[in-house]
Amino acid sequence: MSLRFAALAPVIAVSLAGCGLNSVPTAEENAKARWADVQNQYQRRSDLIPNLVNTVKAAGAQEKDILVEVTQARAGANQVKLSGDDLTDPAKVANYERAQSAVTLSLQRLQEAYPELKSQGNYTTLMSQLEGTENRITIARTDYNTAVQSYNTRIRTFPDAIGAKVFYGAKPMTPFQATTPGSETAPTVNFGS
């Protein structure tokens, strides 16, 4: 009996390995790591905003409404938390994205409202940092979506789907999608002509 089990052990091990026993959690952890990258970039943006607001305040205190909007959007975005375990809940992911989109929109309004600030060094430097951060956010979100696609494909395809359901009870993760109204349409640029 033990000789028979010893002969079947390699077959059982190969069968289990082919059922996603290791690849499913590896793909899940990769997606969660990419999510951490997204959060890191949003935090970077959040950290830059107080410096930008102070720079704008020093240059022109008359436009407080936009400054208040940026500050409130940042505070609202900082209150919405999304952990790696929440990535399977589309509503929580959408709520997080809405909060972050509000920050993006308020920063765009700030930049449009203060064209005279572009000549000031501190403002230009901070806006450059924020633009770079927005690019990093886009890249991190793309990497996250790629990792989620890989994970979701793995848990739905044979043979990994067996291990994903039996051993892990795996659920699909939610990728980022555009949630800002009108984001699917490119803006019209008009230089007054």
Whole-number Cα distances in Å, 94 to 134, 136, 170: 18, 20, 20
CA dist 96 → 77, 160, 180, 189 (Å): 7, 30, 12, 29
In a domain, 24, yes or no: no
Instruction: Provide the 8-state DSSP code for 188.
Output: P
Q: Please determine, for residue 189, whether its predicted confidence score (pLDDT) is greater than 50.
A: no
Does residue 79 form part of some domain?
yes
Rounded to an integer, what distance in angstroms lies between the CA atom of residue 61 and that of residue 112? 16
Supply the mean pLDDT for the chain. 78
Confidence of residue 15 (pLDDT cuts 50, 70, 90): low
Give me the pLDDT at residue 140, please: 92
User: Which H or E run contains 92?
Assistant: helix 90-113
92 domain residue, yes or no: yes
Domain membership of residue 2 (yes or no) is no
Q: How far is CA 154 from CA 77, 83, 101, 143, 176, in A?
A: 32, 21, 30, 17, 18
pLDDT at 145: 93
The reply to whether 152 falls in a domain is yes
pLDDT in tens, 90-114: 999 889 989 998 888 888 877 776 6
**Res. 190: pLDDT tops 50:** no
Residue 15 maps to a domain = no
Question: Tens digit of pLDDT for each residue in 20-38?
Answer: 677 888 889 999 999 999 9
Q: Looking at residues 141-157, what average pLDDT do you find? A: 91
Res 12 pLDDT > 60: no
Please say if the pLDDT value at position 149 is more than 80.
yes
112 located within any domain: yes
Among 6-20, 80-94, 95-109, 167-181, where is mean pLDDT lowest?
Answer: 6-20
Q: Which range of residues forms the domain containing residue 63? A: 38-168
Q: Is residue 123 part of a domain?
A: yes
CA-derived radius of gyration, the chain: 23
Q: Which of 112-126, 148-162, 168-182 has maximum average pLDDT?
A: 148-162
Domains contained in the chain, number? 1
Query: The tokens 């690849």 sit on which residue?
Result: 23
Q: C-alpha 22: how far from its chain's center? A: 25
pLDDT of residue 187: 47
